Structure 1
């Protein structure tokens, strides 16, 4: 049986190239040089986060309607009584089967599993799907996710005012009593801040193995599916589907 859970094979039948071999002293010298840049990158990330904490905020109607497990609810209710809310706006292709749902959003949502650390800082994390609740909830159940899940369809245009509805977004909200404010948002590669798989890949010799990367000649950089420069699908599905199907989970969205 094909191991669908693995990534796509390299685009060549030949063994990939290897980094040059050196002795321990020369290896550590190169690590030390790179470490200077890594520490500068960390400090710049800290400085950007500090600037993010100083951004102004804009008020949002906390009564905007969402759909949850018990029917209509509100953005304010999605805070679950906590002070802050991080909401991921999951893209959705209405009427399409599970295999054709967004591989990028499947990747993002798969990264956020343990919520107790967020809760300890008075933060709720929730997915606000851009599709119908019942259909998208079945997708969540197929994937084995247990984060709070809502449909944002009733209020999507107002929640993402001035932005591209239908695209992945990550939005931060702050609650002051019954008043709700938006404090920051991002989209496209900005949502990589949710990720750990890519972060770990970036630490390896071959990296993410995607076409856009600046890698040495002969490094594996497999083609995506369909032809694109990222590798989040294999054999016609988002990569995390295969172990769920192998475990007998149903991907019927109803």
Structure 2
């Protein structure tokens, strides 16, 4: 790619101030969208889901770990290679210290439609300590539209049905597993689903991209082109 033009300090400062106006407007719009997200109505989860954890079977309320809010990252499993996908792994590599979320009464957990033994093996390989549950054998992934199989449920991903996905050239998203984020609130004895996002929706959680966006060379590669962190050559 072409490098930026070389200019004087005064020219650079003028261009920087012009960009600053756009950055501030972008921040204002982001704050507005965040406020609208918090105002979204919510839906009571009236179905019991069973997950596999290292200590045995647990339900959705157990995933909150005693906190009021739960963020689930739907971690896509690559069945052909029996490991977690690279882009999902990049996102999890960028998760900070969980104490900051916990101090805000919020739990972060991973859920994959894969056998727990496979999850535990990959988790150990990656050196992660986040809670990671198996939804293998349950309807959870299908109900939250991150597993696509017409024999189980109507195909939908990123709020688009199968016909729309095919029309938009996204046939690869009409079968198998995808990734996404879902948010839940525990109020009294009830659990509510408040938000889900898919596709590029979870992208702000990828800190590597946020850093690279500050640089002249930018992101340099599509998210699927990143490798598992133990696969880069020295």
Question: SS at the partner of 1:45?
Answer: helix
Residue equivalent to 1:119? 102
Asked whether the equivalents of residues 62 and 179 of structure 1 are also in contact (C-alpha less than 8 Å), the reply is no
CA contact (8 A) 2:204 2:210 kept: no
Contact 1:67 / 1:154 at 8 angstroms: preserved in 2?
Answer: no
> In the alignment, what sits opposite 1:172?
183
3-state SS of paired residue (1:189) = coil
Q: Secondary structure at the match of 1:41?
A: helix
Matched positions, count? 205
TM-score between the two structures when normalised by the length of structure 2: 0.81
Q: Say which is worse superposed, 107-116 or 140-149, in terms of deviation.
A: 107-116
Normalised TM-score (structure 1): 0.75
Distance in 2 of aligned mates of 1:230 and 1:110? 13
Partner of 2:168: none
Which structure has the highest strand share of the two?
2
Mapped contact 1:127–1:149 kept (Cα < 8 A): yes
Which of 1 and 2 has higher RCO (CA within 8 Å, sep 6+)?
Answer: 1
> Counterpart in 2 of 1:161?
143
* Deviation for aligned residue 1:102: 1.1
Residue in structure 2 matched with residue 21 of structure 1 by the alignment:
6
1:52 Cα shift? 0.5
Task: Tell me, in whole angstroms, the C-alpha distance in 1 between the residues paired with 2:204 and 2:189.
Answer: 29
- The 1-side partners of 2:56 and 2:206 are apart by 30
* Aligned residue among 10, 20, 38 for 1:35: 20
Do the aligned partners of 2:73 and 2:182 also contact (CA within 8 Å) in 1? yes
- Asked if 1:232 corresponds to 2:232, the answer is no
Of 88, 103, 109, the residue aligned with 2:86 is 103
Instruction: Give structure 2 stretches of 5+ with no counterpart.
Output: 148-176
Q: Please provide the CA RMSD for this pair.
A: 2.0
> For 1:76 and 1:62, how far apart are their aligned partners in 2?
11
Cα distance change of structure 1 residues 108 and 77 upon mapping to structure 2, 3 Å threshold: same
1:153 aligned counterpart, secondary structure: coil
> Corresponding residue for 1:242?
231
CA drift of 1:158 comes to 3.8
Q: Whole-Å Cα distance in 1 between the matches of residues 224 and 109 of structure 2?
A: 26
Determine the structure 1 residue equivalent to 2:220. 209
Question: Which runs of 5 or more residues in structure 1 are unaligned?
Answer: 1-15, 211-228, 247-254
Shift of 1:122: 0.3
